[in-house]
Amino acid sequence: MPELPEVETIKNGLIPEVVGRRFLKASLLWPGQVRQPSPEEFRRDIVGQTVDNIRRRGKYLIFDLSGRLKLMFHLKMTGCLLIRPSDEEPLPHTRAILYLDNSTSLHFLDQRKFGAMWLVPNEDEVLGRLGIEPLDHSFSAAALRELLGKHDVPVKPLLCDQTIIAGIGNMYADEALFAAGIHPEKKTRKLKAKEYERLYSAICHVLIEGIARCGASVSTYQQPDGEPGFAHLFFQVAHRRGERCYRCDTPIERIVLRGRGTYFCPKCQRR
């Protein structure tokens, strides 16, 4: 958390509020949030920069700035970005405040301090080896089979591997596997062509629906205006341990798979 739908929702909410605005100053309430450059350089170099565009890559937010720098965020587990009046007191867990030229400011909240900010000339320094975008035109059932089929490991961890597919995390991997009727422990080499087709369609569906529902507020996630998302209200298995499957009335189970909590229906997703 947040995953692709949450980060995409944040991007969409920030664009009308931030694009075209100029940064006046940065207040780093916890300098450790800045990974590159130094906090001192960050405070200095952000001043006067205008936001030309905001993009998403995987779970990263990328602000294209007028001085050819990139302001980048990764929200990790508990991060969120809020637009607030510049004269209001910061909320609990606010780690950084970036003041804009219209009396508003961008607040980076992060309860667990895992999130990060960068101000760099080259985004590839940060993005590294991110995998394919699951909503890109180049993503297909055939591409999914090519990416996963060469491995002999459970399918769930591979869906969450950001070097393979960028943006999917625990929640939407669980939802996609349920929609495709695939057990999370099934080995990817044993998936048949029809299963890859179902999984591809399910991935696209759950991500698009997640964006349409403004993300899932199962923890600290908020939209930039402070409102929660409501995608979690439609989850079929994720975070529903012990509750009844909407499809077959079987209790949803939870296992730990490669260190990740994994939810599934044992009847709808047989091994």
Amino acid at 47: V
Instruction: Check 2, 134, 157, 184 and give the catalytic one.
Output: 2
Instruction: Check 3, 6, 175, 185 and give the catalytic one.
Output: 3
Please report where in the chains the tokens 């760099």 appear, as a residue. Answer: 120
Phi/psi of residue 43, nearest 5 degrees: -60, -40
How far the first Cα of the chain sits from its last, in Å, is 27
Phi/psi of residue 266, nearest 5 degrees: -70, -15
Q: What stretch of H or E contains 124?
A: helix 124-127
Residue environment code for 98-133, b if the CB has 16+ CB neighbours within 10 A, otherwise e:
bbbeeebbbbbbbeeeebbbbbeeebeebbeebbbb
Instruction: Check 213, 258, 260, 266 and give the catalytic one.
Output: 260
Using alpha carbons, select from 250, 205, 91 the residue that is nearest to residue 213: 205
Mark whether 243 is an active-site residue.
no
Mark whether 3 is an active-site residue.
yes
Task: Give the integer Cα–Cα distance in Å for 32 and 4.
Answer: 24
Quick one: 264 exposed, middle or buried, by C-beta within 10 A (0-12, 13-18, 19+)? buried
Count the residues in the chain: 271
Task: Give the integer Cα–Cα distance in Å for 248 and 71.
Answer: 47
Using alpha carbons, select from 188, 189, 175 the residue that is nearest to residue 268: 175
Task: Give the integer Cα–Cα distance in Å for 109 and 253.
Answer: 32
Instruction: Check 5, 6, 11, 59 and give the catalytic one.
Output: 59
Mark whether 260 is an active-site residue.
yes
Residues carrying an active site annotation: 2-3, 59, 260
